[in-house]
């Protein structure tokens, strides 16, 4: 079996062994690269995309002692920066704890050093790829039926993401039409990156292994931005000691995920216009035209039309990243789903919890604002487990510490098991007084600024639409674009 299109990064601090393993990998048809330290491996993983990682667990040691296991750090860093990587670990040390730790971090197989021939590498890589493909094809979580799981209107994934049947079918369609960009709107912690990874898994089911490259856009704010995105030619600038590929090349044939895309400066947006148009670009210092064809997925917490109007985003750039859209509601607007999230969390942690405790936890959690959304909820539940373990006690409601005990009475009143949100009903003649009370409370007490602004903005929109009896007239009267008012109507379900 030959892997002409696959690349492997091998990490070993013994240069002789590293050269040997690179040679063995090349004989298998792999594009092989090497690193001799944790820092060098991190640098290469940040600058280039790889399909496979083979790392020694013990690095930087003459005696190969058990004290330094920086290979674990490499595995963790690699899968955080390149989640699509297939990881294999190797070591002279056959201690069971080493095996368990490597597998818990995401390694697919473990090789005993020294490796003598290419067949060993070939067999383990083949097994690892098959295992990874099998795992990606079976990525749902089976949750035992209870009173909180009464229908099949959602799908639960292993990363803890709960996707409605509507969104799941929508992602299936996007996966089958890989030329369509996907824009994910939602507050911090609503699961935008997890949705992008689910799209990747769906494409893997259809096409086999493809790359998934994550770019954290807020970090693209320095002189090396072009090099990180497009790679550079050896000698292009001081310190360019070797040719690199960059994020765009690493995403070829797969998915390029631009997280927090609204933070890109105008200069970087201009640099991306060409590759987003036809897939062509140049490395820094290289006149040769290169092509990379990828599916673009972007995530943002902002209204992109407003970003264009404010001058923070180029109109051309916005048009080229636009495509299919998914809006992820904040947790405070789907409090009825909290029992389901709590159930999935404990299932993911392999902890048996009674329905009564789930009910108690959910009742308490439904009283909080959850500014950090689902991510914050899971962290609070994780802290609950830690509290019980530290006190060596059986898990109970007393171990739950909420981030904010202020009731969310001005948004929704929920009951566990309800299927629809129940908006607070106010007579029309009381709406003005309600807003004044809301402002008065905000001025005198600590509360969520986003919630207050959302309530006021929603009320202003409704009143403007009632006055003018026309969306076209309303957006002109409010001084915003038609796209902006449509986005706000979608956000507030008006």
Kindly state whether residues 234 and 110 are assigned to the same domain: no
The predicted structure's pLDDT at residue 152: 58
Kindly state whether residues 181 and 315 are assigned to the same domain: yes
Asked whether residue 375 is assigned to any structural domain, the reply reads: no
Whole-model pTM?
A: 0.61
Residue 321, SS3 per DSSP:
helix
Q: Which two tokens stand for residue 477?
A: 């009267």
Query: Residue 127 belongs to what domain range?
Result: 7-137
Asked whether residue 487 is assigned to any structural domain, the reply reads: yes
The predicted structure's pLDDT at residue 271: 93
Question: What's the chain's average pLDDT?
Answer: 83
pLDDT tens series, the chain, 494 aa: 445 567 899 999 999 999 999 998 888 888 899 999 999 998 888 877 788 899 999 887 544 444 567 889 999 888 887 877 889 999 888 778 888 888 888 888 888 888 888 887 888 887 777 666 655 555 555 555 555 555 556 777 766 678 888 889 999 999 999 999 999 999 988 889 989 999 998 998 888 778 888 999 998 877 789 988 998 888 888 888 888 888 998 899 899 999 999 999 999 999 999 999 999 999 998 888 999 999 999 999 999 999 999 999 999 999 999 999 999 989 988 888 899 889 888 888 888 899 999 999 999 998 888 888 898 999 999 999 999 998 889 999 999 998 854 444 334 333 334 443 344 444 555 567 777 878 888 888 888 888 888 888 888 988 888 888 778 788 888 888 777 787 788 788 78
Asked whether residue 59 is assigned to any structural domain, the reply reads: yes
The predicted structure's pLDDT at residue 394: 92
Query: Which residues are bridge partners to 212 per DSSP?
Result: 255
Directed axis angle between helix 471-478 and helix 449-468, to 10°?
130
Domain count, the chain: 3
The predicted structure's pLDDT at residue 100: 85
Kindly state whether residues 120 and 226 are assigned to the same domain: no
The predicted structure's pLDDT at residue 406: 44
Kindly state whether residues 208 and 302 are assigned to the same domain: yes
The predicted structure's pLDDT at residue 238: 82
Kindly state whether residues 36 and 119 are assigned to the same domain: yes
Give the residue from 484, 482, 491 showing the smallest Cα distance to 455. 491
- Characterize 270-281 residue by residue with b for buried, 16 or more Cβ atoms within 10 angstroms of its Cβ, and e for exposed: ebbeebbeeeeb
Kindly state whether residues 17 and 100 are assigned to the same domain: yes
Kindly state whether residues 235 and 312 are assigned to the same domain: yes
Kindly state whether residues 317 and 182 are assigned to the same domain: yes
Kindly state whether residues 324 and 197 are assigned to the same domain: yes
Residue 284, SS3 per DSSP:
strand
Asked whether residue 156 is assigned to any structural domain, the reply reads: no
Domain boundary among 297, 328, 359: 328
Kindly state whether residues 123 and 225 are assigned to the same domain: no
The predicted structure's pLDDT at residue 179: 92
Contacts of 431 (CB under 8 A, 6+ apart): 459, 463
Q: Which two tokens stand for residue 440?
A: 């008065």
Kindly state whether residues 224 and 123 are assigned to the same domain: no
Rounded CA separation 494/260 (Å): 26
Asked whether residue 382 is assigned to any structural domain, the reply reads: no
Q: Which two tokens stand for residue 204?
A: 């893997």
Q: Which two tokens stand for residue 421?
A: 């949100």
The sign one gets for the Cα dihedral 175, 176, 177, 179 is positive
Rounded CA separation 266/177 (Å): 29
Give the residue from 443, 484, 436, 442 showing the smallest Cα distance to 459. 436
Contacts of 413 (CB under 8 A, 6+ apart): 422, 424
The predicted structure's pLDDT at residue 4: 58
Asked whether residue 46 is assigned to any structural domain, the reply reads: yes
Q: Which two tokens stand for residue 214?
A: 């994550």
Domain boundary among 271, 304, 328: 328
Q: What are phi and psi of 396, to 5 degrees?
A: -150, 170
The predicted structure's pLDDT at residue 381: 95
Give the residue from 141, 194, 199 showing the smallest Cα distance to 169. 199
Q: Which two tokens stand for residue 116?
A: 């003598």
Rounded CA separation 6/26 (Å): 11
Domain boundary among 108, 137, 166: 137
CA distances, 397 to each of 238, 353, 374, 381, 388 (Å):
59, 11, 19, 11, 10
Full 3-state SS string of 44-109: HHHHCCCCEEEEECCCCCCCCCCCCCHHHHHHHHHHHHCCCCEEEEEECCCCHHHHHHHHHHCCCE
Rounded CA separation 340/337 (Å): 5
The predicted structure's pLDDT at residue 280: 94
Residue 467, SS3 per DSSP:
helix
Kindly state whether residues 99 and 196 are assigned to the same domain: no
Directed axis angle between helix 338-348 and helix 373-390, to 10°?
50
The predicted structure's pLDDT at residue 6: 79
Rounded CA separation 487/452 (Å): 19
Say if residue 310 is exposed, middle or buried (CB neighbours under 10 Å; 0-12, 13-18, 19+): exposed
The predicted structure's pLDDT at residue 410: 39
């Amino acid at each position: 079996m030959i892997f002409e299109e696959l690349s492997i990064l091998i990490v070993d601090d013994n240069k002789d062994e590293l050269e040997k393993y690179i040679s063995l990998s090349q004989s298998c048809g792999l594009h092989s690269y090497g690193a001799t330290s944790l820092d060098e491996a991190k640098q290469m993983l940040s600058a280039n995309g790889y399909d496979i990682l083979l790392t020694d667990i013990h690095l930087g040691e003459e005696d190969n002692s058990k004290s330094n296991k920086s290979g674990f750090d490499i595995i963790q860093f690699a899968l955080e920066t390149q989640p699509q990587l297939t990881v294999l670990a190797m070591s002279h040390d056959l201690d069971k704890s080493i095996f368990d730790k490597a597998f818990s971090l995401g390694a697919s197989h473990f090789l005993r050093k020294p490796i003598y021939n290419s067949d060993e590498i070939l067999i383990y890589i083949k097994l690892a790829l098959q295992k990874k493909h099998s795992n990606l094809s079976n990525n749902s979580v089976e949750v035992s039926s209870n009173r909180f799981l009464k229908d099949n209107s959602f799908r639960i994934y292993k990363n803890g993401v709960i996707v409605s049947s509507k969104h799941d079918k929508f992602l299936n369609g996007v996966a089958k039409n890989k030329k369509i960009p996907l824009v994910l709107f939602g507050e911090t912690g609503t699961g935008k990156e997890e949705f992008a990874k689910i799209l990747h898994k769906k494409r893997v089911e259809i096409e086999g292994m493809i790359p998934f490259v994550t770019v954290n856009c807020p970090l693209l704010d320095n002189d090396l931005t072009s090099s990180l995105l497009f790679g550079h030619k050896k000698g292009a600038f001081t310190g360019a000691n070797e040719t690199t590929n960059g994020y765009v090349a690493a995403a070829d044939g797969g998915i390029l995920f631009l997280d927090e895309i609204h933070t890109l400066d105008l200069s970087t947006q201009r640099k991306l216009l060409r590759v987003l148009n036809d897939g062509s670009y140049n490395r820094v210092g290289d006149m040769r035209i290169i092509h990379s064809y990828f599916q673009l997925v972007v995530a943002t917490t902002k209204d992109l039309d407003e970003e264009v109007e404010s001058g923070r985003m180029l109109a051309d750039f916005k048009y080229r990243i636009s495509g299919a859209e998914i809006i992820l509601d904040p947790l405070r607007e789907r409090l009825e789903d909290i029992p389901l999230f709590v159930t999935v969390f404990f299932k993911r942690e392999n902890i048996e919890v009674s329905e009564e405790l789930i009910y108690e936890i959910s009742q308490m959690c439904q009283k909080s604002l959850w500014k950090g959304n689902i991510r914050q909820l899971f962290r609070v539940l994780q802290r609950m487990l830690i509290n019980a373990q530290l006190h060596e006690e059986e898990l109970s409601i007393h171990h739950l510490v909420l981030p904010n005990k202020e009731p969310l009475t001005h948004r929704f009143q929920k009951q566990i098991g309800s299927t629809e949100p129940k908006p607070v009903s106010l007579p029309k003649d009381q709406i003005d007084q309600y807003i004044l009370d809301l402002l008065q409370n905000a001025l005198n007490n600590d509360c969520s600024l986003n919630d207050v602004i959302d309530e006021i903005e929603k009320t202003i929109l409704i009143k403007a639409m009632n006055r003018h009896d026309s969306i076209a007239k309303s957006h002109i009267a409010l001084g915003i674009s038609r796209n902006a008012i449509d986005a706000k109507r979608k956000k507030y379900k008006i």
